[in-house]
Structure 1
Amino acid sequence: MLDQYGIPSTHHGYGRDAKAAVAISRAGIAKLLNALPEEIIFTAGAAEADNIAILSAVNCSFIDHIITTPFEHPAVLQSLNALQRKHDIRVSYIKHDEHGNLDLHHLEYLLRTNTRNFVSVMHANNDIGNLNDIETIGLLCKKYKAIFHTDAAQTTGKYRYDLAGLNVNFMAVSGHKFHGPKGIGFLYCRKGTKHLPGINSGTDNVAGIIGLSKAFAIAHDDMEPKLNYIQGLKSRLITQLAELLPAITFNGNSGIAIKSIPSILNVRLPETNMSKSILQYLDEHQIAVSGGYSSSSPVLKALGITADTESIRFSISRFNTLQEIDHVAEVITSIYQTVAA
C-alpha cells in the first residue's frame, strides 16, 4: 500500500512497479496450480468468480441446460434462479442420498440426454463439508463435452490442484479461506474456454492480490502436515461431543474423515427448551461458530431434515489448539447440563 500504490494500467514508473507486482503474484499462483498465468483472473472473491463463470457460459457458449446440486453456495443458486426467470434456461439437480452424496449415474444420464450442458458442482460444501468427486465429474463432462465449473473456496489452499490434469473449465477461489485478505479471490478459466469480455478492465486491487499470492504460497508450505493437524482437532471434537452428548448427530458426511474436509464439522444438537439459541450462549463464552435452525438452512432442508432443530457449524483452522477444542466441548456440555436440563 505504501510502495506499490500505482495503478497497473498507467505508463509511469509507479504504475509499472504495480503491474510487475501483479504479474509476479499471478505467475506464483498459476505455478502452484500447474496452470498458465493468463488463466488466472482476479476477482473480489469466489462469489464474483462464480457469477462470472455462470454468465460466461450462458452468454458466450450459449448454454441452455445447467446441471447443479441443491447444496451449492447462494452465489451459484441465486444466479441460476435469476437466469431461469430471465432466460430460456433449464436447471436440473443431481440426485443425492440423505447424507448429501451425489448420484453420478444420474449426472451422466442428465449429460447424455441433454445438449449444451453447464455443470456447476462445488468441491466441498461450505455448510456440511461434504467432498465431491470432481475428478470423476470432470471426466464425465469431458466425455459429453460439457463445461464444468466448481466452487473450490473451501478446498483451495488446503488441497493441491493440478489444473493441467483436472478437467475443469472454471474454478472459483476466495483468499480469506486460506488466511489471505478479505475481498480478493480469483477465477481459474481454462485456456480456450470463452468468458465475458472486459473482466480485467477495472483497476486491480494490488495490495489484495499480493496478499492473496503470499497467503497462497504459505498455505502450500507443509500443506499435508497442516491438514493432518486440523483433522486431528476435528476428530477430537467429534469424539468429545459424542461422549458428552450421545444424542448429538453429525449432518451430511461432516463426521466422516474421508468424505468431508477437516476444517468443517456440522453438528445437530438435541432438542431443548432453551430460552435462546446455542449460538448465543456460545457467543457469550467468546466461542465463534455459525449455524441456525433447520428451517432456515437450504442445505439441511435439502438433506431432508424436517425437524426444526438447531445445528452448529464449527470452522477449524491450523491456528486452533487442542485446548480450544476441549474448551468448546466442555462449554457445550455445561450449557446443556445447566440450561437445557
Structure 2
Amino acid sequence: MQRVYLDNAATTPMHKEVIDTMTQCMHNIYGNPSSTHVFGREAKAQMELSRKKIAELLNVSSSEIVFTSCGTESNNFIIRSCVDHLGVTRIITSTLEHKCVQETVAEMESNRKVEVIRVKLDPSGSVDYDELERILQVSDKKTLVTLMHANNEIGNLLDVEKVQQLCEENNALFHTDTVQTLGHYPMDLSKLKIDFASCSAHKLHGPKGIGFAFVRKSLQFKPQITGGGQERNLRSGTENVYGVVGLAKAFEMSLNDLDKHRAHIEDLKSYTIQKLQEEIPGVEFNGLSADLDKSLYTVLNVRLPFKDALIGFELELKGIAVSQGSACSSGASKVSTVIQSVLDAETIERITPVRVSYSCYNTREDIDRLVNVIKQISEKHLVAHYTFKCHSDEGGI
C-alpha cells in the first residue's frame, strides 16, 4: 500500500545529511563536554561550533542561544523565568497558543497570581492588534507578551514586527513561539528586536529531543534546572552533543535551501486547495490557512462539509497520515481549542477539520492520493445523508 506522510507540522523526517553528521559525531566524539581532558574538550568544541553556527544564521551572539530538549522546554523556560527572575506580573497571550504555552501561563495565573489577559481574535483567528495596543497601554505592570509566530493548526502568521514595536513602545517583553517558523522563514534577530524565541529541531528535518531558546543577552535569567552549571549556568545536565550537532546541521540546511523548498511546498499547497475545491463540493479552509501570503506555507487546515470523527483513522487505513486537529477522550471526539476559537458551535457540529502539513519530500502524487481518498469518504457521507433524508421523508424514521 502506498504510504503518504502529510503531518509534518507534528514532526518531519530527518535529512540524510543530518543523520550522517550525527552518526559521524557518535563514532568519533564521545567525551562528556564538561570533562577537562581531550575527549571532553572535543565534545565541548562540537557544542560551541554548533552554537556559533546557529547564532550566525540568526545574526545574534552565541551567548544568546541556550540548548534545551525541545520547543516545549524552551517555552516553559522562558515564561517561568520571566515571572521568577524578571519580575513579570502580567502576561498577555491568546487562546491560539500551543498547549505548552497555554498551560504554563495558566499555572502562572493560578500559582503565582500573575494577571493573565487573552487578547481578542478577529473572525479569521488573527490577533486584534488594536486591542493588544490598548491592553499594553492601560497598565504599568511588568508585562510579557507571548504570541506564537505561526499557529500550528490553522497557520495564521503573526505580524511579529508590529507586535515587537508595540511591546517596545510600552516597555513590555515579547516572547514568540517560533517552533513552526524557524528554519522555514529567514529571521534576522539583530533587526527584529524580540526578546525570546524557541526552536525544536524535529520541525525542520532534525532529530527529536533537542531545541534551543533564544534569550536576548541584556536579560538576566537564572537556571530553572540546577545541578551542574551547563549552558552558562542556565540549564544543568549533561549536554546532548549529537542532538546539538544534528540541530545545527538541519538548521543550516533548511536556511540554505529555503527558497527552493518554499517554492516547492507552496506549489503543493496551492495544488491541494485547487484539487479539493474541484472534487469536494462545499469544502472550505479554517483560519487564514488558504491564504499563502498570510499563513504558514507548510500548513493547510481543511474544513470538510460533513461530520466524521474517525476520518483520521479512515485515512490511516489507506496509508495516509494527517492530523485531525482534535483530541479524543473517553471515546468522545472533541475539536481543539484553536478550532473552537475560530468557529461557532453550530459550524463545528457539521464539519470535520483536517490539518495537512507539508515538507520538501512531499509530491503532487501524495496530494492526488489524499484528495482521492477524501473524495471517497465524502461520497460515502453524501450517500448516507440522502438515504437518511429519503427514509425521513417517507416516514421510515
Q: Does 1:88 align with 2:113?
A: yes
Tell me if the contact between 1:56 and 1:194 (Cα under 8 Å) persists in the aligned partners: no
* Amino acid aligned to 1:71: L
User: Deviation digits for residues 254-290 of structure 1, max 9, x if unmatched?
Assistant: 0111110110011111124x5x611111101111001
Q: How does 1:40-51 map to 2 (within 5 A)?
A: 40-51=65-76
Contact 1:129–1:260 (CA under 8 A) maintained in structure 2: yes
* Residue from 120, 126, 129 that aligns with 1:101: 126
**Counterpart amino acid of residue 280 in structure 1:** F
Aligned equivalent of 2:389: none
Matching residue within 273, 282, 289 for 1:247? 282
Q: Is the 8 A contact 1:43 1:187 kept in 2?
A: yes
Matches within 5 A, 1:251-266: 251-266=286-301
Which aligned pairs between 1:128-207 and structure 2 lie closer than 5 A? 128-197=154-223, 198-207=233-242
* 2:127/2:158 contact within 8 Å kept: yes
Secondary structure at the aligned position of 2:300 is classed as strand
TM (norm. structure 2) is: 0.83
- Three-state SS of the structure 2 residue aligned to 1:109 is helix
Report deviation, 1:336: 1.8
Partner of 2:86: 61
For 2:315, the aligned partner's letter is L
Question: What CA deviation, in whole Å up to 9, does each residue of 1:79-115 have, x standing for no partner?
Answer: 0111111112111111111111211111111111122
Alpha-carbon distance in 1 for matches of 2:245, 2:160: 29
Could you say what secondary structure the match of 1:268 adopts?
strand
Q: What are the residue-to-residue correspondences of 1:222-237 with 2, within 5 Å? A: 222-237=257-272
What is the TM-score with the length of structure 1 in the denominator? 0.96
Runs of 4+ in 1 over 6 A off after TM superposition: none
SS in 1 for 2:28: coil
- How many Å separate the matches in 2 of 1:285 and 1:194? 52
Which of 287, 290, 315 aligns to 2:357? It is 315
Q: CA deviation at 1:222?
A: 2.7
Residue of 287, 290, 293 corresponding to 2:320: 287
Match of 1:300 in 2: 339
Contact 1:52 1:196 in 2 (8 A): no
Per the TM alignment, residue 220 of structure 1 is displaced from its structure 2 partner at its CA by: 1.0
Q: Secondary structure at the match of 1:130?
A: coil
| Equivalences for residues 25-36 of structure 1 within 5 A | 25-36=50-61
SS in 2 for 1:291: coil
Over aligned residues, Cα RMSD in angstroms?
1.3
The reply to whether residue 221 of structure 1 matches residue 247 of structure 2 is no
Shift of 1:304: 3.3
User: For 2:344 and 2:366, how far apart are their aligned partners in 1?
Assistant: 30
How far apart are residue 200 of structure 1 and its match? 3.0
Q: Is the 8 A contact 1:292 1:310 kept in 2?
A: no
Q: How many corresponding residue pairs?
A: 339
> Would the aligned equivalents of 2:143 and 2:173 in 1 still touch at CA under 8 Å?
yes
Q: Which runs of 5+ in 2 are unaligned?
A: 1-25, 224-232, 327-332, 384-397
**In the alignment, what sits opposite 1:6?**
31
The Cα offsets for residues 38-80 of structure 1, whole Å up to 9 and x where unpaired, read as 0000001110000011011101111111001110000000001
- Once the two structures are TM-superposed, the CA of residue 292 in structure 1 deviates from its matched residue by 4.6
The answer to whether structure 1 residue 337 and structure 2 residue 363 are counterparts is: no
Listed one character per residue, the Cα deviations across residues 141-175 of structure 1 (whole Å, up to 9, x for unaligned) are 11111110000000110101100111111101100
Amino acid of the residue matched to residue 281 of structure 1?
Answer: E
Task: Report the counterpart of residue 243 of structure 2 in structure 1.
Answer: 208
3-state SS of paired residue (1:122): coil
Take 2:382 and 2:106, find their aligned partners in 1: how far apart are those partners? Answer: 40
Unpaired segments ≥5 residues, structure 1: none
The alignment-based identity, stated in percent, is: 40
Find the residue that maps to 2:321 and give its secondary structure: coil
Q: Secondary structure at the match of 2:40?
A: helix
Check the 8 A contact 1:295/1:301 in 2, yes or no.
no
For 1:323, give the aligned amino acid.
E
Larger radius of gyration: 2
CA distance 1:19–1:337, shift in 2 (3 Å): same
Q: Distance between the aligned counterparts of 2:377 and 2:221, measured in 1?
A: 51
CA distance in 2, matches of 1:296, 1:321: 29
